[in-house]
Structure 1
Amino acid sequence: MSIQKTIDRKKLDERVVRMPGYVQQFIDYKLPDLSPSTLLEYVRDYEQFFGWLIAEGLTSAAVIGDITLYDLEVLHMESIVAYRLHLTTRTEGTNSKVTVSRKMSSLRSLFHYLSQIAEDENFYPLLKRNIMAKVEIKRIHKPKDTAAKLKGKILEEEEITEFITYIAEGYREDIQNNKQALHAFELNRERDACIASLILNSGLRVSEIVNLNVNDLDLANKLLYVFRKGHNDETFKTPVYFREQSKDDLTHYLALRHTRYKTPKREKALFVTIPNGSKEGKRMTKRAIQAMIIKYAKRFGKPYLTVHKLRHSFATDYYLQNDIYKTKEQLGHASTETTEVYAHLTDKTMSEAIERRN
């Protein structure tokens, strides 16, 4: 199990015990098929919904764990509409349409399980009436729409190499009058350039980068062994190829990983940092990598760039040389529907190419 999944499984176990027994039963049912990270999001969604039921007086329960199946059975459609409205209009932490859709889908999954799958000792459904079956949840992010939002906000062609080179060298000139920033840059520039290079030359997710260990790397064959998102077998690591440029960047970084970061032998993480107050290297966090990319992107003149947009940049570039099925496998997508984004993103490139003459 990956580092992040282990952390999320612990959080899941801590939170699910405060849920009603039928929610715990649902989570146990889903554990073989969904990652702890996904199920933790489910539990957070249920906490929010049950907390709203209590606040609105739609249950006599004083705490979430005491909310009964009957409380769910007698909900009216107007209550569900009111909850959806609460999610979209509350003044603090208003949710996007995508988030609202996900939260409603979480509820529908629970209600479906209780009414169609789970049963009592007499073989009757645990939930006799499923109000969520009446709720239509529209698909929010169609591939074409996602592609439209991404256009102009990813790196294209030579920009990919330019961004990596900027992290390794160019950033120095922009901060030369800031001694503290310059010191941090000189300490981390090879590592930071290597991380950006690996994403832009393999399409790995930030969570996959964080979870990488040194022994997951096969430099000779330009391979990494990765815990992929959504993979049911948590003991299996998927082989993922990377391009030649990353081989050079990884070789350069590995040569200084131990000495530069005072990394102890027990630390297996590929990418390490020395946290404030610490004397030795430890695994980088997802948040640290995200903040690092944003820092360089702003100075590079692409303030909208994020780690995930680097992944999109690789995928768009890769798709131009390969078909949708190879792109799907390289990115670790569950279905080609997700990969369709890159077909739409490359429409402009394709239309320009057909007009070119030899």
Structure 2
Amino acid sequence: MNIQKTIDRRKLDEKVIHMPWFVQQFIDYKLPDLSPSTLLEYVRDYEQFFCWLRTEGLSTATANDQVTLLDLETLHMESIVGYRLHLTTRTESTNSKITVSRKMSSLRSLFHYLSQIAEDENYYPLLKRNIMAKVEIKRIHKPKDTAAKLKGKILEEDELTDFIAYIADGYGHDVVDNKQALYAHELNKERDACIASLILNSGLRVSEVINLNVDDLDLTNKLIYVYRKGNNDESFKTPVYFREQSKDDLVAYMTLRQTRYQTPKREKALFVTVPNGHKEGKRMSKRAIQAMIIKYAKRFGKPYLTVHKLRHSFATDYYLQNDIYKTKEQLGHASTETTEVYAHLTDKTMSEAIERRVSG
């Protein structure tokens, strides 16, 4: 099991014991099909919903694990409307439309399981009445809308290579008067440029990058083996190709990975760091990579750029030279519906292409 899944599985096990027995049963039912990360989000959504039920007096339970099936069975439609309103209007950390839609989908999944799949000892459904079956959840996350939000916030054409070069060299010139920033850059520039290069030349997710081990790297064939999102077969790593530029950056980083970071031979992680107070290199965290990209992006003049937008940048660039099916496979998408974002992002390029004429 990869690093993030192991962490999320532990958190899931810690949280699910504070859920009603029927939620625990639902999570067990879903474990073979969904990742621990997804199920952890489900449990967090149920925590929030059950707390709301108790606060509103819709359940007499004094703790979440005491919420009953009858509490769910006797909910009125106005209660569900009230909960949706609570999610969208509460003053602290108001949820976006996409988040509300996801939280309602989590509830729908649970209620569907209890009313259509799970049975009591007499073969009757655990939930006799499913109020969530009446709730229509509109699709919010449309590819065209996503593409519109990404316009101008990703790297295009020469910017992909310019950004990598900036991390390797340009940033150092910009912080020359800041001794601390300059020291950190001198220490980490090859590693940081390599991480950005790998994402911009392969389209890997940040979760896939942090889980990489040295043994996953095949420089000769320009391949890297990763646990892909949604693939619950823990014995199988998917081969993902990367471009020639990334090979050069990987070679440069690998020559100093062990010596510069005092990385012990037992450490399998490809990308390492030496945390404050430590003497040896250890696996970088997801947060560290995200913060690192944001730091360089601001100085580069792209304040909206994030580590995930590097993946979008690669995907848009890749899609221009390949069809939607190759792009889907390269990115590890479950369906081409997700990949459609890049078709919309390249609309401008396509409209320019149709105007070109071959002279002669």
TM-score (norm 2): 0.99
Is there any run of 5+ residues in structure 2 with no aligned partner, and where? none
- Tell me, in whole angstroms, the C-alpha distance in 2 between the residues paired with 1:148 and 1:283: 35
- In 1, the alpha carbon distance for the partners of 2:307 and 2:234 equals 24
Aligned to 2:299: 299
Q: Does 1:320 align with 2:320?
A: yes
Distance 1:265 1:44 in 2: 38
Give SS of 1:225's match. strand
Shift of 1:243: 0.3
* Pairing 1:171–2:171 present: yes
Following the alignment from structure 2 to structure 1, what is the Cα–Cα distance between the partners of residues 122 and 234?
Answer: 36
Counterparts of 2:267 and 2:55, CA distance in 1: 47
Report the alpha carbon displacement of residue 59 of structure 1 after superposing the two structures with TM: 0.5
Deviation at 1:102, TM superposition (A): 0.2
Q: Is the partner of 2:83 in helix, strand or coil?
A: helix
Q: How far apart are the structure 2 equivalents of 1:232 and 1:18? A: 25
Structure 2 distance, partners of 1:114, 1:287, is 37
Q: Secondary structure at the match of 2:236?
A: coil
Equivalent runs, 1:167-246 vs 2, <5 Å: 167-246=167-246
Q: In the alignment, what sits opposite 1:49?
A: 49
Q: Within 5 A, what are the aligned runs for 1:209-288?
A: 209-288=209-288
Provide the C-alpha distance between the structure 1 equivalents of 2:353 and 2:171, rounded to a whole number of angstroms.
34
Give the RMSD, CA atoms, in angstroms. 0.5
Counterpart in 2 of 1:22? 22
Residue 152 in structure 1 maps to residue 152 in structure 2: yes
Q: 2:128 maps to which residue?
A: 128
Shift of 1:113: 0.2
How much has 1:235 moved relative to structure 2? 1.8
- Measured in 1, the distance between the counterparts of 2:98 and 2:107 equals 15
CA distance in 1, matches of 2:273, 2:314: 25
Q: Deviations over 1:10-69 (max 9, x none)?
A: 100010011000000000000000000000000000000001111111101100000000
Counterpart AA for 2:71? D
Q: 1:231 aligns to what SS in structure 2?
A: coil
Report the AA paired with residue 329 of structure 2: E
Q: CA deviation at 1:156?
A: 0.5
Where does residue 73 of structure 1 map in the other structure? 73
Deviation at 1:198, TM superposition (A): 0.2
Show the counterpart of 1:354.
Answer: 354
Deviation at 1:232, TM superposition (A): 2.4
CA distance, structure 1, for counterparts of residue 232 and residue 259 of structure 2: 37
Overall identity of the aligned pairs, in %: 85
Deviation of the 1:292 alpha carbon: 0.3
Query: Is 2:37 the partner of 1:34?
Result: no
SS of the aligned residue for 1:224 comes to strand
Distance across 1 between alignment mates of 2:275 and 2:185: 15
Give 1:173 shift.
1.0
5 Å-filtered alignment, 1:111-126, equals: 111-126=111-126
**Amino acid corresponding to residue 82 of structure 2 in structure 1:** A
Post-superposition offset of 1:241:
0.3
Instruction: Report the Cα offset of residue 234 of structure 1.
Output: 1.9
Structure 1: distance between partners of 2:302 and 2:353: 26
Write the distance in 1 (CA, Å) between the matches of 2:148 and 2:189. 33
What is the CA deviation profile of residues 286-320 of structure 1, one whole-angstrom value per residue up to 9, with x for unaligned ones?
A: 00000000000000000000011000000000001
Q: CA deviation at 1:356?
A: 2.1
Give the residue type in structure 1 aligned to 2:276. N
Distance across 1 between alignment mates of 2:28 and 2:321: 43
Indicate the SS of the match to 2:255: helix
Equivalent residue, structure 1, for 2:104: 104
* Cα drift, residue 357 of structure 1: 3.0
Task: Report the alpha carbon displacement of residue 141 of structure 1 after superposing the two structures with TM.
Answer: 1.1
What residue ranges of structure 1 are gaps of 5+ in the alignment? none
Amino acid at match of 2:38: T
Match of residue 338 from structure 1: 338
Runs in 1 of length 4+ with deviation above 2 angstroms? none
1:87 aligns with 2:87: yes
Structure 1 residue matching 2:233: 3-state secondary structure: coil
- Equivalent-residue separation in structure 1 for 2:281 and 2:312 (angstroms): 30
Separation in 1, partners of 2:186, 2:309: 25
